[in-house]
Copies of this chain bind each other. A is one copy, B any other.
Amino acid sequence: MNVAVIGLGLIGGSLLRALAAHGHRVTGYDAGAETREAARALARPAPGDRTTGDAWHVAESVAEAVAGTEVAVLAVPLPAIPDVLAGLDGYPGLITDVTSVKGPVRDLLGDRRFVGGHPMAGKESSGFPATDPRLFDGCAWVLCLEPDDADPADWLALARLFTRIGARVVPVTAAEHDRAVAAISHVPHLLAAALSGVLEGNPLAGTLAAGSFRDGTRVAATRPELIAAMCGGNAPAVRRVLAGVIDDLESFARELELGDPIAALTAGLRRPSELRRAWPPGPGEPVEVPAEVEALLALGRAGGWVSAINDGTVAGLRPETDRNRS
């Protein structure tokens, strides 16, 4: 395929490299001149290399990057999307994105030809120097579908593109996505921040802190602006999940006030411990489902994902239903 990638940070740059490695014709663009230069330098064949040209092209504008492409991937943060869209007026190809909230992006895109996406790939480091063409191997990549979508053809085209670079493509609605990432990504950042607060005025705690504190707070070192943008951009879902977590913490606090706090807390901790020990889900059972919106959404809702697009059907994997297997 002929693909444009707008934004060459960790996700966009890695995607540019992964798609090129799989034989696609790829053009990249980044608003930063230095990033463009780094991407261009890496595209050049090594001296003595027998390949005939650059591994990918780096354009000088959004319009130049998307000209003649079938797919444009917007790999820029949510606040930068409106600007990029201005450069896509009249673009006839298919647009997708990689941001971590899907409802608001859908609203921004209006009636353009668009399928929202979100690869669940992250690293501590960011920017083009951190890119890795194997970043998406085995990574869950959400692609959004809605029950009222008439035809999943565009969805299937992107699913084919991303499964072939190793991703597990997860079909979900924008609302389901936003609720799920509130639970497994946005709220964890808020818990990490609240836990970091225990160091305030307590250097002794900082000296004694070890593994459980380190892991429980790791993501609190993320820039506050980034955490706030993720959570604030998904505020209704984050508030709902956060309220549930606070309820559970208050239950633990009540159990600690009972006559036998150890027995009460043991009972209260049993189910969360089971849930954590059953995670991550096992390899799952292979399934084949029709290439239709409802069947795909049912697969995603069951925790399954798509591994390959065939003719008229979709091959996938679905976790076993007994989540308490050891």
Contacts and interface: CB of A to CB of B under 8 A. Distances in A.
Interface of A: 120-122, 139-140, 142, 168, 170, 172, 176-177, 180-181, 183-185, 187-200, 202-225, 227-229, 231-233, 235, 238-239, 241-246, 248-250, 252-253, 256-257, 261-267, 269-273, 275-281, 300-305, 319, 323
A305 B207 contact: yes
A204 B180 contact: yes
Given A184-B205, A184-B206, A195-B245, 18 more contacts: A122-B212, A140-B208, A142-B208, A183-B199, A183-B202, A184-B198, A188-B195, A191-B194, A192-B212, A194-B249, A196-B272, A197-B275, A198-B241, A199-B276, A203-B323, A207-B281, A231-B261, A239-B256
Q: Which 7 A-B pairs have the closest CB atoms?
A: A203-B303, A232-B262, A224-B269, A183-B198, A228-B265, A232-B261, A184-B209
A227 B265 contact: yes
Contact of A205 (B180, B245, B253, B262): B180
Contacts of A224: 265-267, 269-270, 273
A182 to B, nearest CB: 9
A321 B301 CA distance: 51
Contacts of A200: 271, 275
A209 B279 contact: yes
A227 B270 CA distance: 10
A220 B144 CA distance: 31
B183 A212 contact: no
Nearest to A248: B194
Nearest to A225: B266
A211 B124 CA distance: 10
Contacts of A192: 212, 216, 276
12 contacts: A172-B204, A183-B202, A185-B209, A204-B301, A207-B305, A209-B280, A215-B219, A224-B266, A224-B270, A235-B257, A242-B252, A249-B249
